[in-house]
DNA sequence: GGCATCGATGAGAGGTCTCTCATGAACCCC
DNA sequence: GGGGTTCATGAGAGACCTCTCATCGATGCC
């Protein structure tokens, strides 16, 4: 399952794609214009974008350009009615990961989307990025990306974030968190954990770290 | 520049590809049958493979299959005369990164190859551990291991160590180090670099960071 | 050797990080 | 609603990090 953003202004095609991709188990959202598509893409809520070139407000090339300029590495499959070599090359050099000319077979689009998603998974695993919903923790640069916005973390905040993200949905006691993020196998009788959960909440958004009274904390994906 | 393996039995096409890709500055080798292609691909001497499907000895699907079974992640662009959705899907699901049906424009192939190479570079750049002689820098845990002993590094020390280790034996000016490890493209007229080289020397061993009078510093592998 | 330049390093200012403590709010049980 | 427990959070101490500055030593040139 992946979260796929379709940016396409022809309703008939958008609906066709949405239906097919949903049937494959993906979670699909459709948007009909460029500016809105760019915004959604930058929100961090999607794993892949299917992008039409001919769009209202700003065209697909521009969307791609802005997206890459903002540092996003989201896989993008470009889809267009114009079957010109020039467009293909422009799109691919502009940062698209794949390009299909209409008319195309759905089976081919599906296969190409799956390749990009597979690649992304592999890259994430190798590069060391932890993702859960719209939250991504870059293990290399130690930065946190929430809804497309990046924040720096202190060493301790990072350790705590890593533990929480590696155990999404699971309740972790203060003792467990101390053990995993502080390397302390004893309780120093303090509330460090509480304090750091507070700090993380400011950066992560309060709702994402849930308090389970009497038990501990839980990261909400 | 990349090292590209072309596996194609039609001489005319193979020559055409070799010529075009060489002109782009790549180092190209051509092979005319499947088994030999597989061997070359597994040798580790190439960055990317352009693979035809219809081949003597074993066909392209089989080559792809074996290659992936052996754990290789080399980017593969499949190129074939058969333009059937079924083949496209098979190739992509079988581990190809891209698929072009003949006839195709060279410009499009070039663009698609460049996308795959770009992707590969990005992935390579972001994994693991930096080593040089008896010094290892763990990029994940941000620790330095020298002759078996581990030390912690501060954020700035780590950045500097990373830059030095990535350019072993090379003299780096203070301005370069400021740019690379401090993200400063101006000289603040200070001696921060000198100071941090001093700190690093304490952890790395004095002899390993050499002063090049009037020029800068050099990491000695 | 004398002088000028360049690099090494200790001291320390100011900032950030980590943790403790105290206080007040939220919650639960009765 | 009352009382006890649990959690959230601001304030602040102390350690550590980052950088500047001044001083001293090393080096190269004449």
Predicted confidence band of residue A188 (pLDDT cuts 50, 70, 90): low
- Closest to A52 measured CA to CA, from A87, A27, A1: A87
Mean of per-residue pLDDT scores for chain A? 88
- Closest to A148 measured CA to CA, from A131, A162, A173: A131
Asked if pLDDT for residue A191 goes beyond 80, the answer is yes
Cα–Cα dist B29/B178, whole Å: 41
Strands of A149-152's sheet in order across: A129-132, A135-138, A143-146, A149-152
Q: Which helix (H) or strand (E) holds A219?
A: strand A216-219
Strands of B98-101's sheet in order across: B27-31, B3-7, B48-52, B76-80, B98-101
- Residues 72-91 of chain A whose Cβ lies under 8 A from any Cβ of chain B: 73, 85, 88-89
Cα–Cα dist B67/B88, whole Å: 18
Task: Kindly report, residue by residue over B52-87, the tens digit of the pLDDT.
Answer: 998 888 999 999 999 988 777 899 999 988 667 788
**Is B191 within 7 A of strand D by CB distance?**
yes
pLDDT of residue B117: 93
B101 touches chain A (CB under 8 A): no
**Is A155 within 7 A of strand D by CB distance?**
no
β-pair partners for A121:
none
> Which residues neighbour A185 within 8 Å (Cβ) at sequence distance 6 or greater?
A178, A179
Looking at CA atoms only, how far is residue B94 from chain A in angstroms? Answer: 10
Q: Measuring CA to CA, how many Å separate B87 from each of A9, A68, B33, B48?
A: 30, 32, 19, 21
Residue indicated by tokens 């990261």? A219
Measured CA B183 to C1' D15 distance, in angstroms:
27
- This prediction has a pTM of 0.62
Mean of per-residue pLDDT scores for chain B? 87
Report which residue is nearest nucleotide C28 when distances run from CA to C1': A213
Q: Which tokens is A216 given?
A: 């501990």
Asked if pLDDT for residue B125 goes beyond 60, the answer is no
Looking at CA atoms only, how far is residue A40 from chain B in angstroms? Answer: 23
Asked if pLDDT for residue B93 goes beyond 70, the answer is yes
Which chain B residues are within 8 Å of A93, Cβ to Cβ?
111, 114
Task: Kindly report, residue by residue over A128-149, the tens digit of the pLDDT.
Answer: 778 887 888 988 778 898 887 7
Predicted confidence band of residue A126 (pLDDT cuts 50, 70, 90): low
- Residues 156-175 of chain B whose Cβ lies under 8 A from any Cβ of chain A: none
C-alpha R_g of chain A: 20
Residue indicated by tokens 């401090």? B182
């Amino acid at each position: 399952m992946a979260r796929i953003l379709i940016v396409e202004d022809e309703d008939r095609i958008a609906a066709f794609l949405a239906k097919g991709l949903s049937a494959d188990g993906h979670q699909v959202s459709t948007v009909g214009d460029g500016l809105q598509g760019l915004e959604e893409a930058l929100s961090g809520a999607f794993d892949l974008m299917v992008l039409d070139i001919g769009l209202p407000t700003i065209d697909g090339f521009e969307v791609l350009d802005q997206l890459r300029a903002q540092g996003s590495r989201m896989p993008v499959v470009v889809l267009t009615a114009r079957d010109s070599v020039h467009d293909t090359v422009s799109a691919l050099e502009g940062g698209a990961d794949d390009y299909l000319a209409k008319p195309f077979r759905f089976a081919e689009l599906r296969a190409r989307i799956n390749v990009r998603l597979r690649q992304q998974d592999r890259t994430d695993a190798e590069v060391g990025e932890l993702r859960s919903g719209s939250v991504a923790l870059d293990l290399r640069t130690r930065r946190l990306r929430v809804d497309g916005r990046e924040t720096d973390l202190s060493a301790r905040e990072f350790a705590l974030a890593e533990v929480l993200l590696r155990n999404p949905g699971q309740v972790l006691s203060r003792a467990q968190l101390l053990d995993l993020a502080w390397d302390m196998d004893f309780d120093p009788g303090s509330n460090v954990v509480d304090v750091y959960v507070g700090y993380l909440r400011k950066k992560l958004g309060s709702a994402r770290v849930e308090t389970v009274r009497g038990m501990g904390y839980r990261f909400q994906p």
